[in-house]
A and B are shown apart, each in its own frame.
Chain A
Amino acid sequence: MRFYIIKRLIGMVPTLLLISMIIFVVIQLPPGDIVTSTLDRMQSQGVEVSAEQIINLRAQYNLDKPFVMQYVSWVGGFVIGDMGYSYLFSKPVNELVWERLGYTLLISISALLFTWVVAVPAGIFSAVRQYSIGDYLLTTVMLVGLATPSFLLALIVMYAGYEWFGISIGGLFSPEYRDVPWTLARVGDFLSHLWIPMIVVGLGGTASTMRILRANLLDELHKPYVVTARAKGVKPLKLLIKYPLRIAINPFISTIGLLLPVLISGEAIVSIVLGLPTTGPALIEALINQDMYLAGSFLMLLSVLTVVGMLLSDLLLAWADPRIRYE
């Protein structure tokens, strides 16, 4: 097992390097850069800019170096925890990303938990009672859930909150708690706001998770080892949990890693709709303003998050399935 973990950890390095290259190319794609947009702004304000100033500006932002060198210094900085400078906020990126990333992580993980708490029992039920009324009901709800864009769901929840409860839903804090230090009361206020993004982000994943679990379980229910165990006289409920479910959960574990990118995507757009102080809204602002270090850092951190999530789900899978452990 230790060997397996080390192998996987080493395997992460080239993956992350490739990802960083892709991201660097993507954030360099827009025509122009921060200097040209700064110059545009200055010139429109009537400020004369000399050629020398331009060269200085470019040097200040490292833009005079070749593309590859820019990449190397970006990645190098990342490794030692220096993510560059945000021109948009005039602050080091370091000071901007962590809190937002923390909220993103919190919402995504709570959405993941929500997804399981709902999807696992529902998936089991609809597989075991295949073709029952309950199964049809659940699969219908699941179909609609799968087809509803998360931002539409967020809009509907906002509408419902306003129409039925007379509350305006949005943000992660009530106004009075927004800018105060953490206290127990603030935590409580946070939790009372957290459940809406949790459900909205989680529901999209719930549908696909339940679908996968249902299908996996249906595949396993009639396998020979289940028949053997039934022939042994194992009681029905224990039989279900110990045999088919235990195996059906394995490929399911490996989808956790795939679910994470989906949840983080959902989180980004839901946060924009609900106005949450997470990575999503800041990323889009950074992208639109060509604040490349900020945008690149967000993209990179979100990718690291999903890669680590995949690693964890693979390790979990190895722990759960002796066949992989022994390979």
Chain B
Amino acid sequence: MSDPVPEDNVLSIRDLAVDFKTDIGMTHALHDVSFDVPRGKVTAIVGESGSGKSVTANCIMRLIQPPGKIVSGKIDFAPIRTDGYDIVALSNRDPRLLDLRGDLISMVFQEPMTALSPVYTVGNQVAEAILCHRNVSRQEAWQEAADMLTRVGIGDVSRRIHQYPFEFSGGMRQRVVIAMALVCQPELLICDEPTTALDVTIQAEILTLIRDLQQEFSNSVLFITHDLGVVAQLADQVVVMYQGRVLEIGTVRQVLKDPLHPYTRGLLAAIPGLVQKGSRLETIASVVGDADLETPYPLTHMADGRQVSLSPTLLREAGHE
């Protein structure tokens, strides 16, 4: 059918390709990744480990370092506070890069245990985020840091703000990192598997926190996970990735209820609890069957607005004329 309805996207990624030069040759970590991140909503990227989710996120923050390199593509960024630009095209010395990182876009990483420097107090590291971007006194910055730490659920802040990261548990540390990411009220928050390294009970707390904060600040969130259960809880929009490519894009309802790509179906079937009653628990391989995962087919727009990468045969079966 025709083009999708023009949307208000905070980020729109087109044909992004990233290579890593390794010991035994060139690794193509991303090929022609394209998707949009709608403003004020939660977009999830799902995919098994090594599918290029983190590399995508790092591209947005321009954190790809040698031996990695963005070979082509663009990332159009449309913030409200300032004029938009293509993130890929920014030079390494562009002052806009420093505003982009931490002020307009911020990121929560997978490993809360190592994401903070062990030699500075928590307050110092959270307040630094403010001091980097706002023209405020040290005192005001610490005050704001304390407020945000309270907001993310850290009790007894006046004491804990002077403690070192190793005095915090993993879950608490992740709260600190979230506070650090949100303290400048970014327009886009990227969470790269923020709960993977945590205990199950803590995971749920952190997820609730992220959802609450998203609703409170109504910012856009790009949420990376390999857990479809989390996607169902949190996301509005889903991007399915596999081996550095995008296989399917759609709303949560579309992708989880009625996946078009056999790989997505496989992912769903492998999760207990999400599948319809009566069907058996299955491995990804058995569901994917003979679907061709190795050939990169272009993303095709479907009638209902979603996009999928399928072979012509499967496309026809899926009802695309």
Residues of A within 8 A of B (CB): 222-225, 227-235, 242-243, 246-247, 250, 320-323, 326
Contacts of A320 in B (CB 8 A): 119
Q: Is B119 a contact of A232 with CB atoms below 8 Å?
A: no
Which of A230, A233, A323 makes the CB contact (< 8 A) with B118? A323
Q: Is B118 a contact of A222 with CB atoms below 8 Å?
A: no
Shortest CB distance A166–B (Å) = 50
Against A, the Cβ 8 Å flags (1 = close, 0 = not) of B80-119 are: 0000000000000000001111110011010100111111
Q: Is A224 a contact of B119 with CB atoms below 8 Å?
A: no
Shortest CB distance B169–A (Å) = 15
Contacts of A234 in B (CB 8 A): 102, 128, 132
Chain B, Cβ-Cβ closest to A249: B119
Shortest CB distance A1–B (Å) = 14
Shortest CB distance B180–A (Å) = 7
Which of B107, B116, B125, B167 makes the CB contact (< 8 A) with A231? B107
Q: Is B128 a contact of A225 with CB atoms below 8 Å?
A: no
Q: Is B102 a contact of A224 with CB atoms below 8 Å?
A: no
Q: Is A225 a contact of B166 with CB atoms below 8 Å?
A: no
Contacts of A322 in B (CB 8 A): 118-119, 164, 166
Given contacts A222-B65, A225-B117, contact A232 B132 (CB under 8 A): yes
Does B160 sit at the interface, judged by CB under 8 A?
Answer: no
CA distance A227 to B192 in the complex (A): 13
Other A-B contacts than A223-B114, A323-B119, A326-B166, 7 sampled, CB-CB below 8 A, are A225-B114, A228-B177, A231-B102, A231-B106, A233-B132, A234-B128, A326-B167
Which of A223, A228, A246 makes the CB contact (< 8 A) with B119? A246
Shortest CB distance A75–B (Å) = 41
Q: Is A233 a contact of B115 with CB atoms below 8 Å?
A: no
Contacts of B118 in A (CB 8 A): 225, 247, 321-323
Contacts of B61 in A (CB 8 A): 231
Contacts of A228 in B (CB 8 A): 107, 109, 115-116, 177, 180
Q: Is A233 a contact of B119 with CB atoms below 8 Å?
A: no
CA distance A225 to B110 in the complex (A): 11
Does B37 sit at the interface, judged by CB under 8 A?
Answer: no
A and B contact pairs by CB, cutoff 8 A, 24 listed: A223-B114, A224-B111, A225-B116, A225-B117, A227-B63, A228-B116, A228-B177, A229-B128, A231-B63, A231-B102, A231-B109, A232-B101, A232-B106, A233-B101, A233-B102, A234-B128, A234-B132, A235-B132, A242-B120, A246-B117, A247-B118, A250-B119, A321-B118, A322-B166
Q: Is A224 a contact of B114 with CB atoms below 8 Å?
A: yes
Q: Is A232 a contact of B116 with CB atoms below 8 Å?
A: no
Which of B65, B98, B120, B180 makes the CB contact (< 8 A) with A235? B98
Q: Is B109 a contact of A233 with CB atoms below 8 Å?
A: no
Q: Is B116 a contact of A230 with CB atoms below 8 Å?
A: no
Does B133 sit at the interface, judged by CB under 8 A?
Answer: yes
Q: Is B109 a contact of A323 with CB atoms below 8 Å?
A: no
Which of A224, A243, A246 makes the CB contact (< 8 A) with B109? A224
Against A, the Cβ 8 Å flags (1 = close, 0 = not) of B18-45 are: 0000000000000000000000000000
Chain B, Cβ-Cβ closest to A246: B119
Does B191 sit at the interface, judged by CB under 8 A?
Answer: no
Q: Chain B, interface size: which category?
A: 20 to 34
CA distance A246 to B119 in the complex (A): 8
Q: Is A243 a contact of B106 with CB atoms below 8 Å?
A: no
Give B103-162 interface residues, CB cut-off 8 Å to A: 103, 106-107, 109, 111, 114-120, 125, 128-129, 132-133
Contacts of A229 in B (CB 8 A): 117, 125, 128
Against A, the Cβ 8 Å flags (1 = close, 0 = not) of B193-236 are: 00000000000000000000000000000000000000000000
Q: Is B111 a contact of A233 with CB atoms below 8 Å?
A: no
Contacts of A232 in B (CB 8 A): 101-102, 106, 128-129, 132, 180
8 smallest beta-carbon distances between A and B, as pairs: A233-B102, A233-B101, A232-B102, A224-B114, A228-B115, A225-B117, A231-B107, A233-B132
Contacts of B114 in A (CB 8 A): 223-225
Give B159-190 interface residues, CB cut-off 8 Å to A: 164, 166-167, 177, 180
Shortest CB distance B175–A (Å) = 14
CA distance A321 to B166 in the complex (A): 12
Given contacts A232-B132, A232-B180, A326-B164, contact A321 B101 (CB under 8 A): no
CA distance A32 to B305 in the complex (A): 100
Chain B, Cβ-Cβ closest to A232: B102
Chain B, Cβ-Cβ closest to A243: B117
Shortest CB distance B118–A (Å) = 6
Q: Is A224 a contact of B115 with CB atoms below 8 Å?
A: yes
Shortest CB distance A234–B (Å) = 6
Contacts of A250 in B (CB 8 A): 119
Chain A, Cβ-Cβ closest to B177: A228
Q: Is A233 a contact of B103 with CB atoms below 8 Å?
A: yes
Which of B117, B129, B167 makes the CB contact (< 8 A) with A233? B129
Chain A, Cβ-Cβ closest to B61: A231
CA distance A249 to B21 in the complex (A): 30
CA distance A230 to B177 in the complex (A): 13
Chain A, Cβ-Cβ closest to B104: A233
Contacts of A233 in B (CB 8 A): 98-103, 129, 132-133
Q: Is B166 a contact of A323 with CB atoms below 8 Å?
A: yes
CA distance A321 to B167 in the complex (A): 14
Contacts of A242 in B (CB 8 A): 117, 120
Chain B, Cβ-Cβ closest to A228: B115
Shortest CB distance A53–B (Å) = 68
Scoring A229, A234, A326 by chain B CB atoms within 10 A of each residue's CB, the highest score goes to A229
CA distance A227 to B61 in the complex (A): 10
CA distance A246 to B117 in the complex (A): 9
Contacts of A243 in B (CB 8 A): 117
CA distance A234 to B103 in the complex (A): 11
Given contacts A227-B109, A233-B101, A233-B103, contact A247 B65 (CB under 8 A): no
Contacts of B129 in A (CB 8 A): 232-233
Contacts of A230 in B (CB 8 A): 63, 101
